């Protein structure tokens, strides 16, 4: 991807970044302020993204001055597909608009795009399932 092109929703990439950071700090609780530095975001965004991962059981947190975040399972078992699913839930991969329901062209286009979206989602998840956080951690040499 060129420097000019950027995804409109970066929650997935930030979530992968954060999970990789946490994997590099096993047995530690890392606070959101510290986690925010590497992906160049803010602690509120970190907590929002990690909240989705926590809801999926991928990370856990402890409150308080010595609190923070940690992975809930070994990085060898945590795939990018797990993170994609936690962050995106059932959101479409393609941005399908809602046309005028009285328009036959709109109905046809939308139905076909929804079918393509299901295929795209399956392909994305299949590809992402091949990579674990441990795979990303090794070359990062935290």
Tell me the C-alpha distance between 124 and 76, whole Å.
Answer: 20
- Lowest-pLDDT range of 21-30, 94-103, 130-139: 94-103
Average pLDDT of the chain is: 90
- Over 80: is that where the pLDDT of 139 sits? no
- Over 70: is that where the pLDDT of 19 sits? yes
pLDDT at residue 107 in the model: 85
Tell me the C-alpha distance between 100 and 67, whole Å.
Answer: 50
Confidence tier at 140 by pLDDT (50, 70, 90): low
Mean pLDDT for the stretch of residues 128-141: 88
Whether the Cβ atoms of residue 68 and residue 59 lie closer than 8 Å to each other: no
**Which CATH code is given to the segment(s) 11-89+132-140?**
1.10.10.10
Quick: pLDDT tens for 25-82: 999 999 999 999 999 999 999 999 999 999 999 999 999 889 999 999 999 999 999 9
Beta strands in the chain (DSSP E): 59-62, 68-71
Percent of the chain with pLDDT over 90: 70
- Over 70: is that where the pLDDT of 108 sits? yes
Q: Residue 79 forms beta bridges with which residues?
A: 132
The whole-model pTM stands at 0.85
Tell me the C-alpha distance between 58 and 138, whole Å.
Answer: 20
């Amino acid at each position: 991807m060129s420097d000019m092109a950027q995804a409109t929703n970066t929650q997935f990439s930030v979530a992968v970044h954060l999970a990789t950071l946490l994997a590099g700090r096993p047995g530690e609780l890392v606070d959101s302020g510290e986690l925010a530095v590497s992906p160049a975001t803010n602690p509120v965004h970190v907590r929002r993204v990690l909240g989705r991962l926590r809801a999926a059981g991928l990370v856990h947190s402890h409150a308080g001055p010595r609190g923070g975040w940690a992975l809930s399972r070994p990085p060898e078992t945590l795939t990018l597909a797990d993170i994609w699913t936690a962050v995106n839930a059932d959101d479409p991969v393609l941005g399908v608009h809602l046309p005028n329901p009285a328009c036959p062209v709109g109905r046809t286009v939308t139905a076909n795009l929804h079918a393509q979206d299901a295929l795209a989602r399956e392909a994305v998840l299949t590809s992402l399932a091949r990579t674990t956080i441990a795979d990303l951690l090794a070359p990062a040499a935290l």
